[in-house]
Structure 1
């Protein structure tokens, strides 16, 4: 019986609490019979993991995060692959890239690609990169060295903070790419010499891990301490999440309204946001919970009335794709307030499954929050509609079949 080919999955870091959509995909692919080899460019930094990570059985190969940390491993890899037929093409490509991007990062990616190419299992039939920036660079160079085809799943920052020349050349080299928003599809098709390579594929949500919150009844209206409306947001404290806008919006709510805001997530801007909250006089109305595992996020969702995410396009072009946390909120019957950025309007029609406002508009965000705080019946209506749309159109168990079929149909995998 013929042994199935290995699919090497190149990731920026693994495991990561903020990338549950990748973990749920990996587990689903394993369950559908794919042999995976995980390759991580970085070691984990989170102190905890989600339960889904414990269920994934694929081995993980951690490449040298910085080349000076493992010079002998890099040198040994170069010595092994320097005579491979594809090495000269990979080196020429890297030199061409380096001339346009003279950074240490570019050199590190080639060094990591050498190690990847040298250490890939012999039965590897395909390299599949998550993110079109650095993981795709490593996958691309290694693909050339080993003469193994590669594919990619693109998301948000990796697309919108990368130069067009690099995106275009990667699209020419890979076999196919899937991405999670219609905006991404349109943009990448415009850069590809073969637009048919680019395809829309939502991540969706693994609904088996998010049972219906059948006891959910929206009743609190913020009219007093016993009617305090619980507002939740889950996300990293980084620019694209717009938490500074959200804090301004919260500060504009009428003093007579009773509400409490909880934030779950780490991030580089967390200390600055806590100071901003104190300066706005909001400290006593906010709980900063830090990074939490999925079960804790689920418990927080079950106790919340409103989920808010003030996503925006950051100055460097970084933005959300389709945030899983919005789908997680919908799965638990929480009413959602967010912004018209990326694929969020593909999940939520404002006035039907939640309320959407323009990005970077704290006044509009405050008005939307006040409306939902005061109107539990509207929250209930949005929650029911949002959950129904989620389960009909964004069930990951159905969506991953499409990805699995694309992988199985690849000639190098069969």
Structure 2
């Protein structure tokens, strides 16, 4: 194994919504790689998943805003400007700044100065999770230190970043991994060099998501005292399509009895609650907010159908393959979602779930009713989904390519 530490650059750590990143970090740690975590932001979640407690790598929180830690930023800059790659990094940043004159671009350069100054001397590689903001800090800091670097690109960072920036980062990095074929194809079309992008799906730690020991229910929505249980896990943001879901629920026939649970926070949460009240659904909706992984797992096992009608947001943001869909499938839970981004790479319509075009409440309502009234079809789809995840989305297998890449240079 190569000597030296790998610095993993993160936008925030830990984050409840990014269990796939934490799982990857833990797997790299288990493989014996010495890691240093560098976070652009302090955590805002009050809870942690079990995986976060198992990660022992030290975390360095960079100054989120220059004004809050002026002395540290100035000290970092004084050290960074003496590094052999500082002038080159500054020129790369100035070229970026001419095309993106924002305070964010200013902050990232000075965060990179602090990172370059404070990274352990035995650091041999920088690896940025998300190619946009963390990717910029990774690139500038690595150039200052004269070190190789790479990226992991996911969803929003791919689809809301300008092509010029993606292209230049892809060409400068040793390699970039991403988690869906659609994302990989898009990035590869922007890279000038061959083999710049590799497809690595986010796997699950199947020990944390074992096969459920209870059989799926036979609920069919006919009993008002035992309604069909619908579940959504995902931040209340535009791309999740949760407003479409509420409008679809309002269209379900009166003789179909159901309850819907939502897990996660998000900026649109109050809007969703208001919409639910406006549609007269409040007594059948339950908003649990952010929850630890154990509670999420319990919700998967208690539910009959997982629903996440994703869409492409107005600014181009979209999901890749939401990790919560993989988690739900691991628990024998059929999924109703949308045929966008990487979702069809897991969900085959009619086999392990149902796919409905986004922003179509009547079509979504029809799919929900169809799945709710047919327990045997739900059970078959759930079993097919669990089989697929356990054969193709095991994190222990997916980490092998990443380890190979990190050890290659």
1:243 maps to: 242
Which residue in 1 is equivalent to 2:352? Answer: 353
2:371 corresponds in structure 1 to 372
- Which residue of the partner structure matches residue 310 of structure 2? 311
1:169-180 residue pairs with structure 2 within 5 A? 169-180=168-179
Q: Distance in 2 between matches of 1:76 and 1:337?
A: 52
Q: What SS does the corresponding residue of 2:210 show, helix, strand or coil?
A: coil
Which residue matches 1:108? Answer: 107
CA contact (8 A) 1:218 1:379 kept: no
Superposition RMSD in Å: 1.0
**Mapped pair 1:148 → 2:137:** no
- Check the 8 A contact 1:333/1:387 in 2, yes or no: yes
- Does the aligned pair in 1 maintain the 2:260–2:285 contact within 8 Å? yes
- Is the 1:218–1:377 Cα contact (8 Å) retained in structure 2? no
Separation in 1, partners of 2:3, 2:276: 54
SS at match of 2:139: helix
Stretch moving more, 187-196 or 34-43: 187-196
The answer on whether the counterparts of 1:216 and 1:333 sit within 8 Å (CA) in structure 2 is no
CA displacement at 1:406 relative to structure 2: 1.4
Task: Indicate the SS of the match to 1:151.
Answer: strand
* Separation in structure 2 between the aligned mates of residue 375 and residue 368 of structure 1, nearest angstrom: 11
Partner of 1:330: 329
Give distance in 1, aligned partners of 2:29 and 2:224. 49
Q: Which residue of 2 aligns with 1:120?
A: 119
CA distance in 2, matches of 1:156, 1:311: 12
2:398 is matched with: 399
CA distance in 2, matches of 1:84, 1:260: 59
Question: Which residue pairs with 1:260 in the alignment?
Answer: 259
- For residues 242 and 346 of structure 2, what CA distance do their matches in structure 1 show? 21
Unaligned ranges ≥5, structure 2: none
Q: In structure 2, the residue corresponding to 1:405 is in which secondary structure?
A: helix
- In the TM superposition, residue 203 of structure 1 has moved relative to its aligned partner by 0.7
TM-score by length of 1: 0.97
The equivalences for 1:44-123 within 5 A come to 44-123=43-122
Runs of 4 or more, structure 1, over 2 Å off, are none
Aligned residues between the structures: 409
Question: The residue matched to 1:233 in structure 2 has which SS?
Answer: strand
* 2:172 is the counterpart of 1:187: no
Matched residue, 2:230: 231
Measured at CA, do residues 151 and 256 of structure 1 come closer, stay the same or move farther in structure 2, by a change above 3 Å?
same
| CA drift at 1:3 | 7.9
The residue aligned with 1:131 is 130
Residue in 2 that maps onto 1:196: 195
8 Å contact kept, 1:230–1:260? yes
The separation in 2 between residues aligned to 1:257 and 1:172, in whole angstroms, is 54
State the alpha-carbon separation in 2 of the partners of residues 299 and 402 from structure 1: 32
Q: Secondary structure at the match of 2:225?
A: helix
- Aligned-partner Cα distance in 2 for 1:194–1:83: 31
CA distance in 2, matches of 1:354, 1:218: 16
Instruction: Find the counterpart in structure 2 of residue 389 from structure 1.
Output: 388
Q: Indicate whether 1:165 and 2:133 are aligned.
A: no
- Shifted more, 356-365 versus 170-179: the winner is 356-365
Structure 2 distance, partners of 1:274, 1:321, is: 26
- Contact kept in structure 2, 1:181 and 1:200, CA below 8 Å: yes
Measure the CA separation in 2 of the matches of 1:83 and 1:329: 51
* CA distances 1:186-210 after superposition (whole Å, capped 9, x unpaired): 1111110113111111012111101
Structure 1, unmatched stretches of 5+, are none
